[in-house]
Amino acid sequence: MKKDINKLYSHLLSDKFFAWKISKNFSNKYLHYLLEKFLEIFPQYPIDNISTITKNLQEKKDDSGIKSLEEKLNGNKSIIYKVYSSNSMPQKIINQILNMYNFSSVKHYIMPLCLLKNAIFIDVLPNTNFNISINDIKKILNDNSVVSDYIHIHVGKNSIGKIENTYNQSHLLINSSIFDIILEENSYLSFTNLQNDSSKTHSFFSIIANQKRKSTFLLNNIFLNSYITLNYININQPEVNCKSFIKWLLIGSKHQHTFDTIKINHNNDNGLSLEDFKSIYYDNSCRHLDNLVLIRKNIQNIRSHQLSKNLVLSPNVYIKIKPSMKINSGNIRCTHGVVIDKLDKNIIFYMCSRGLNMKVAEDIVLISFVKNLLDSIDHSVFQKTTWFYLKYRLWILK
Amino acid sequence: MISNNKKILKKINNDIEYKYGFVSKIKEDSFPFGLNNDVIRNISLKKNEPEWLLNFRLKAFKYFEKLTKLNKTPLWPELTLPTINFDNICYFSKPQSVPKNIEDVDPELIETYKKLGIPIDEQKRISGVAVDAIFDSVSIATTFQKELEAFGIIFSSFSEAIANHPELVKKYLGRVVPYTDNFYSALNSSVFSDGSFCFIPANTKCPLELSTYFRINAANTGQFERTLIVAEENSTVSYLEGCTAPIRNNNQLHAAIVEIIALENACVKYSTVQNWYPGNKNGVGGILNYVTKRGICIGDFSKISWIQVEVGSAITWKYPSVILKGKNTTGEFFSIAMTNNYQQADTGTKMIHLGEGSSSSIISKGISSGFSKNSYRGMVKVLKNAKNAKNYSQCDSLILGDMCGGHTFPVIVSYNDSTQIEHEASTSKLSEDRIFYCQQRGLSKEDAVHLIIHGFCKSVLNNLPMEFAVETRKLLFLTLDDIVF
Amino acid sequence: MNLIIKDLYVSINKKNILKGVNLIVPQGKIHAIMGPNGSGKSTLSLALAGYPAYVIKSGSILLNGNNITHLTPHNRAKKGLFLAFQYPLEIPGVNNAYFLKTIVKTHVRYKDTGAVKIMSLIEEYMLKLGMSSDFLKRDVNEGFSGGEKKRNEILQMFMLKPSFSILDEIDSGLDIDALKFVSISIDRFLKENPKSSVILVTHYSHLFKYIKPQKIHILINGKIATSGDISLVQKLEKKGYQGLSN
């Protein structure tokens, strides 16, 4: 294993990647240590595979498109964009990115951090209604094989809006986004993320969200295809009256490996967190879900509910789910539930007996399984695309 | 609402009246402190053990030494573990006079057990319950042995079983919990002193409840019991383990192993009512209860049920588990864990599904208060060939107060597509509104709390053998009263 | 049994809800309290029963001359006070039959009655209320519909025979038939126990078709705005709460 880390490490340390900047700001030893910790959490991570990818990546892109991109984006006075590509990232910005990290959690997203290329800063001014899509920005900043961005989103007081991250290319080798989200007082953000890459893609998705009082955060995640997906979600509620809602759909197929780590920290009164996971597994897919709700001492009136429903459609599927609750206060009400099930043959038989073809019957069951979840995602354009992808996915997976 | 919680917290400062905290004046034969190969040889010698058993102990000790060198104290449990100086413990202590007949038992010992509510003298035996009384790691009396022998049932102390039925013990010892399993199983396998052995032959339903009462008395000794229960084809047995210990200022280690083997169509029910000294209100003293309990359902259609009510001990660290090897086997785990003051509990179960059609149920109820930590840690693992396996788990926690912790760490693993697993957990506080509703109907606050908590724990209590249900409920409410009032 | 409330001020979480309520309900009478949402009707009912979250800042409550202002809820219950909850609570794991037997056993009235007689009384009342016997096997209020929960409250009232009952929105959540049935049962109870008094807390006057209150009080903004006999209902229907308070 040590040989592999060294190989990976040497490929990451070229100035193609952010890893070089990390090792300069901290030290080579520290970076090495973090990569080791990373592999302790994900021992199955295919280092060889990513070493090959990183070794063969193209050199840096030129920055010509960036200035005009920024100008175009900043047409709307109430949302300020700043965009930096790996070539032209000032030290101040590098420091800002490195400062976001929290020693105890960085090992979960050290890989995407090392592979970072671009930084995008979106500042939504107070009292603004917004509807942002990050797709175009990503397209311009990245090349055809690697998408790797750090996106900082600051939603000002009383602002309400949506952000969409649905950039997918079927030939991407690495698709990585690290989001650093700050929600100011009384703001509302509905964040929708769709990942639908190829069965060769390494996908990384991290969100670290800090909510100020009375803010609401809706996170809608749909994962349809990749080779290996590492997701890290950390939602902090350090102030009162915060609400978080997570909706998550996963369809695992072929040799897809998904590792999801979710941490919700309730650090102040009157918090609410609701999590709804629905997954369908085919072929040899495998999934690790580690979902922790943490409630500090002396906190009043917290409600937290997690539910994970899993439908297994192949005998070679491996699932490991760890819904945990660490609760240190009394005035709370928390629940969690996990259901692992197979297709109900009785329902299929009933539909067949009413004249439906077995495949159609199965289709109906699968779609109804995910329908509620999808319909509740308040993003109409997204919904249409998702339905299309979903049906296509379910069709070709049969 | 908050002011009420503060009132409850104020009342928690009263010391628990642990009525079993007395010390009996019994003369003991004890080894000097410390652990090495010689101590082990001496233990084996004192007990007249055969060569094979001595070798078993020595192998286990070698492994234990290896683990100690590697400093393998685990960090994963949600517990603050005190460092144990293994050289500062006495590993063998027994009352000087251990007679063959109950008539010759030291009257002080009989008095001890009477105080605990477990009469062992012939006249006052609890009918319907056979008792193996273990005092400081040594079995001093076993009631109803002869009557049970008539059925072919062997119920005796472990030492007696080694002397009288060595081939049986040799066949099954360590098969479920090998000494390599974990740190404390290695320790126990080296220095275990006594325990109970129970063998139910094929096609026999044990007519009595079998039980063992563990009583720790001597200071600074560790308790390392070993219990082995073998149920052959079509047999049934229900077994109860009860434990108490005196109040002392330092921690005492209790590292026991319980192994259960169920052959085809056998049914074993193992209940524990644990009331070890929990330490005083400042967390000083108390028993360290590190136990490895495991059952294996080898034969098809067999069933093992673990039922535990844990209200004592400073640290409870145990995961009674079932390996469901045979087809259509059933594993059950019912638990109530109550912690107060500075107690810590990290308990739960592992249900490993290997056989087709295996099913398991887990119902766990935790009640935490004071500054205690109460965690449920469970694993349900369905392996590839366990087709059509089913599991249902329900883990509920009640948190009384704002300074205690109630945690849940379940792990659910599935390797195939015909599994059906349903897990639900909830954590909440004692509803003030519910208490008020009962009070408005004329019930006092005590009665209201008893009623609600009884309802909370009912699904576990209903599974206890009838003979012990009443006493257990009393114990539960006594402990609860200390917490709430 | 009569009830005298003098200058009652009640607050919750530092918010003042009842701002000086004065009320007298003489023995054997039926009074109704009506008022718009947020006027403090439920607060009054719960404060009378002794709900711990409600703080009585000043004033007094006298039940048949006994000052119950600072008594615990269960001591008030022992003095003959009964509250039929607007939202009866579920108690999971606690069997209905067991709960009924427990609350009855602690009651002075049934001190010398055997368990068998108590069960037969329960069954008799259940029959009168149109409740099926499997209700006894279920847990208290768990999975009960609104109507079933209200019937459970009335059943408890029949068993305990309180001298003073407060029925908090007994009509809410009931369909027309159920409402009729429950009202007739209450009316029968009152006729069979002429010394019992009742406060009916309600929004609407439907209930009065079957149970005729002698007096109606209108509670607005934490105080009794006006009181009158049943003709007040018609005035209310014409002018609404707003109109009456002016």
Q: Between A and B, how many residue pairs show a Cβ–Cβ distance under 8 A?
A: 122
Distance from CA of A376 to the nearest CA of B (A): 24
Determine the average pLDDT of the residues in A13-39: 81
Contact B440 C88 (CB under 8 A): no
Distance from CA of A289 to the nearest CA of B (A): 10
What per-residue confidence (pLDDT) applies to B19? 65
| Chains in contact with C via at least 3 Cβ–Cβ pairs below 8 Å | B
List pLDDT tens digits, range A359-397.
777 877 787 788 778 877 776 655 666 666 666 666 665
Q: What is the DSSP letter of A217?
A: E
Average per-residue pLDDT for chain B: 83
- Is B443 in CB contact (< 8 Å) with chain C? yes
Confidence of residue A336 (pLDDT cuts 50, 70, 90): very high
Contact assessment for residue A70 and residue A123, using Cβ atoms and an 8 Å cutoff? no
A6's enclosing H/E stretch is: helix A2-12
Residue of A273, A282, A318, A338 to mutate, interface with B, max B Cβ within 10 Å: A338
Q: Which of A321, A332, A333 sits opposite B412 (nearest CB)?
A: A321
Contact A318 B397 (CB under 8 A): no
Q: Which of B401, B422, B425 sits opposite A330 (nearest CB)?
A: B401
List pLDDT tens digits, range A148-193.
999 999 999 999 999 989 887 778 888 999 999 999 999 999 999 9
Does the pLDDT at position B54 exceed 80? Answer: yes
Q: Do the interacting molecules here have an ipTM over 0.85?
A: yes
Does the pLDDT at position B3 exceed 50? Answer: no
What per-residue confidence (pLDDT) applies to B251? 78
Contact residues, chain B, for A297 at CB < 8 Å: 402-403
Q: Which of B409, B423, B429 sits opposite A337 (nearest CB)?
A: B423
Name the closest residue on chain A to residue B367, using Cα atoms.
Answer: A330
- Is A330 in CB contact (< 8 Å) with chain B? yes
| Chains C and A are in contact, defined as 3 or more C-beta pairs closer than 8 angstroms | no
Q: Which residues pair with B306 in a beta bridge?
A: B270, B333
Q: How many whole angstroms separate alpha carbon C200 and alpha carbon C178?
A: 17
Distance from CA of B436 to the nearest CA of C (A): 7
CA nearest neighbour of B276 among B314, B222, B312: B312
Contact residues, chain B, for A338 at CB < 8 Å: 410, 412, 421-424
What per-residue confidence (pLDDT) applies to B9? 40
What is the DSSP annotation of A177-207? Answer: EEEEEEE-TT-EEEEEEEEE--TT-EEEEEE
- Is B164 in CB contact (< 8 Å) with chain C? no
Q: How many whole angstroms separate alpha carbon A302 and alpha carbon A265?
A: 11
Q: Which residues pair with B335 in a beta bridge?
A: B308, B364
Report chain B's C-alpha Rg in angstroms.
Answer: 22
Average per-residue pLDDT for chain C: 86
Distance from CA of B405 to the nearest CA of A (A): 4
> What domain count does chain C have?
1
Q: Which of C51, C91, C103 sits opposite B434 (nearest CB)?
A: C91
Contact residues, chain B, for C78 at CB < 8 Å: 442
Torsion sign across C-alpha atoms A369, A371, A373, A374: positive
Contact B427 A332 (CB under 8 A): yes
Q: How many whole angstroms separate alpha carbon A215 and alpha carbon A221?
A: 20
- Is A342 in CB contact (< 8 Å) with chain B? yes
Does the pLDDT at position B426 exceed 90? Answer: yes
Distance from CA of C68 to the nearest CA of B (A): 13
Neighbours of A61 (CB within 10 A): 17
The residue among B210 and B270 whose pLDDT is bigger is: B270
What per-residue confidence (pLDDT) applies to B125? 55
- Is A326 in CB contact (< 8 Å) with chain B? yes
What per-residue confidence (pLDDT) applies to B275? 84
Structural domain of residue C208, as residue ranges? 3-245
Distance from CA of A268 to the nearest CA of B (A): 13
Contact residues, chain B, for C160 at CB < 8 Å: 441-442
Does the pLDDT at position B106 exceed 70? Answer: no
What per-residue confidence (pLDDT) applies to B8? 43
Confidence of residue A334 (pLDDT cuts 50, 70, 90): very high
Average per-residue pLDDT for chain A: 86
Q: How many whole angstroms separate alpha carbon A93 and alpha carbon A192?
A: 26
Confidence of residue B15 (pLDDT cuts 50, 70, 90): very low
Residues 379-438 on B with a CB inside 8 Å of C are: 431-434, 436-438
Token digits of residue A289? 């879900």
Q: How many whole angstroms separate alpha carbon C151 and alpha carbon C145?
A: 10
Q: Where are the domains of chain B?
A: 2-484
Q: How many whole angstroms separate alpha carbon A142 and alpha carbon A86?
A: 10
Neighbours of B10 (CB within 10 A): 9
CA nearest neighbour of A321 among A285, A291, A356: A291
Contact B408 A324 (CB under 8 A): yes
Distance from CA of C159 to the nearest CA of B (A): 11
The residue among A75 and B436 whose pLDDT is bigger is: B436
- Is C93 in CB contact (< 8 Å) with chain B? yes
Confidence of residue B12 (pLDDT cuts 50, 70, 90): very low
Contact B1 A324 (CB under 8 A): no
Integer CA distances (angstroms), B276 to B18, B21, B191, B247, in order: 9, 9, 21, 9
Q: How many whole angstroms separate alpha carbon B77 and alpha carbon A101?
A: 26
Contact C94 B437 (CB under 8 A): no
What per-residue confidence (pLDDT) applies to C235? 84
Does the pLDDT at position B331 exceed 80? Answer: yes
Contact residues, chain A, for B422 at CB < 8 Å: 337-340
Amino acid letter for position A297: K
Q: Are strands C55-63 and C66-67 parallel, antiparallel or unpaired?
A: antiparallel
Does the pLDDT at position A65 exceed 80? Answer: no
- Sequence-ordered list of residues with C-beta below 8 angstroms from that of A24, at least 6 positions apart, any chain: none
Distance from CA of B426 to the nearest CA of C (A): 13
Q: Which residue has the tokens 């009082």?
A: A213
Residue of B402, B418, B430, B483 to mutate, interface with A, max A Cβ within 10 Å: B402
Q: Quick check: pTM over 0.90? A: no
Name the closest residue on chain C to residue B462, using Cα atoms.
Answer: C93
- Counted residue by residue, chain C has a size of 246
Give the pLDDT of chain C (246 residues) as one tens digit per residue: 789 999 999 998 888 899 999 999 998 889 999 988 888 888 999 899 888 888 899 999 999 888 989 888 878 888 888 999 888 888 877 888 888 888 887 777 777 778 888 888 888 888 888 788 888 888 888 888 888 888 888 888 888 888 899 999 888 877 888 788 888 888 888 888 888 899 999 887 888 888 888 999 999 888 888 888 888 888 888 888 877 766
Does the pLDDT at position B5 exceed 50? Answer: no
- Sequence-ordered list of residues with C-beta below 8 angstroms from that of B412, at least 6 positions apart, any chain: A319, A320, A321, A322, A338, A340, B379, B380, B421, B423
Distance from CA of C164 to the nearest CA of B (A): 12
